Amino acid sequence: MATPAFERKLTPEEYLELERASPVKHEYRAGHFLAMTGTSDVHNLIVGNLYMLLRERLRGSPCRVFIADVKVWIKAAEAFYYPDLMVSCEPVISRYYREHPCLIAEVLSPSTAKADTQDKWRDYQKLEGLAEYVLIAQECMDVRVYRRSQSGWDLAIYTDGTLIELTSVGLKIPIERIYQEVWD
């Protein structure tokens, strides 16, 4: 995430106040904020497909699935991000952000891939309750799941014809379900 070269640093509280009144979404890190860009229809379909699968799986549980408009607060990085999708089972502390998601998913695009695979990933690892970080390609069936283990983070790569396992939510799904109707 780039930092703008203007204005003074904002506190997290100032950022939240400005963000609630802003017609444009911004992400925040260490006092700086950056406007977010729109997404493609493919991006939107992938996130929607994953949302529906997770929502159905978690129905009746204390866990909730959020898409793009609810922030995650990473206190250790002093950062607020808008993940493409996240699952949180924590009691509600704020209607605008969560602090302890168990799963975060990002759909990779040319404009966000570097931040999603480097900067944000480095910060997401600081979330104590995060069990899985999912990176989803748009141009082909390629899903990468970083899963927290006792030794750090393990990577599972899923491609055409494989069954994706999301252990944090107890879900196994064919990769084709995430990409359903994307290239029709």
Query: What does the pLDDT average to over 118-146?
Result: 96
The tens digit of pLDDT for each residue in 65-80 reads 999 889 999 999 999 9
Q: Which amino acid is at 16?
A: L
| pLDDT above 70 (res 57) | yes
5 pLDDT higher than 50: no
Answer whether residue 3 shows pLDDT above 80.
no
- pLDDT of 125 above 70: yes
90: pLDDT strictly greater than 70 = yes
Residue that the structure tokens 């950062």 belong to: 79
Average pLDDT value for the chain: 91
The helix/strand/coil state of 50 is: helix
pLDDT of residue 7: 61
Strands 79-81 and 71-74, sheet pairing: antiparallel
Q: Fill in the amino acid letter for 82.
A: Y
Among 106, 149, 103, smallest CA distance to 129 is for 103
The pLDDT of residue 63 is above 60: yes
Rounded Cα gap, residues 172 and 17, in angstroms? 39
Instruction: Write the burial class of residue 161 (CB in 10 Å: 0-12 exposed, 13-18 middle, 19+ buried).
Output: exposed
Residue 184, Cβ density class (10 Å: 0-12 exposed, 13-18 middle, ≥19 buried): exposed
Domains defined for the chain, CATH in brackets: 39-178 (3.90.1570.10)
- Residue 13, number of CB atoms within 10 A of its CB: 8
pLDDT at 6: 43
Q: Which band of pLDDT confidence, cut at 50, 70 and 90, is reported for residue 137?
A: very high
pLDDT, residue 184, reads 79
Predicted pLDDT at 2: 47
**Is the per-residue pLDDT at 42 higher than 90?**
yes
More confident residue, 152 or 31: 152
